[in-house]
């Protein structure tokens, strides 16, 4: 489940198995995306996988992924750990937010 306060403009989420980009976050818990709008509860997070990480531009070394000195481990339970702070992320929007807060750059994703 996604909470509206965990999203920001540009985050990717799923709706009816389609990938959507968040365009606006409204006070009433609704979000607007490039493919429609609705209450945040109608959208699902995108779980991180090796395939998703590679589409984000990460380079893989065993179970470690790196992009621009931003290194994460892919753990066996399907979550990722940012090495420098041991921050755990499970979903793509969380990774996007962490990457932006650490690097001050958007994570470019080619899905």
pLDDT digits (tens, 9 = 90+) for 43-101: 999 999 999 999 999 999 988 999 988 999 999 888 999 999 999 999 999 999 999 99
C-alpha dihedral, 66 to 8 to 110 to 68, nearest 10°: -20
Confidence band, pLDDT 50/70/90 cuts, at residue 7: very high
> Are 88 and 80 spatial neighbours (Cβ–Cβ below 8 Å)?
yes
Per the listing, tokens 């590679």 go with 54
Domain locations in the chain? 4-42, 50-103
> Are 65 and 59 spatial neighbours (Cβ–Cβ below 8 Å)?
yes
pLDDT at 111 over 90: no
Tokens encoding 42: 């109608």
Give the pairing of strands 30-33 and 18-25: antiparallel
Tokens encoding 86: 């041991």
* Long-range contacts from 26-30, C-beta under 8 angstroms, 24+ separation: 29/4
Confidence band, pLDDT 50/70/90 cuts, at residue 27: confident
SS3 state at 95 = helix
């Amino acid at each position: 489940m996604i909470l509206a306060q965990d999203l920001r403009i540009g985050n990717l989420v799923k709706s009816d198995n389609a990938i959507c980009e968040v365009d606006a976050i409204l006070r009433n818990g609704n979000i607007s995306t490039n493919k429609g709008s609705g209450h945040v509860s109608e959208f699902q997070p995108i779980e991180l996988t090796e395939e998703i990480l590679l589409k984000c531009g990460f380079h893989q070394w065993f179970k470690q992924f790196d992009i621009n000195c931003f290194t994460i481990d892919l753990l066996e339970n399907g979550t990722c750990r940012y090495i420098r702070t041991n921050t755990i992320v499970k979903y793509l929007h969380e990774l996007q937010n962490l990457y932006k807060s650490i690097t001050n750059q958007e994570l470019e994703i080619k899905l």
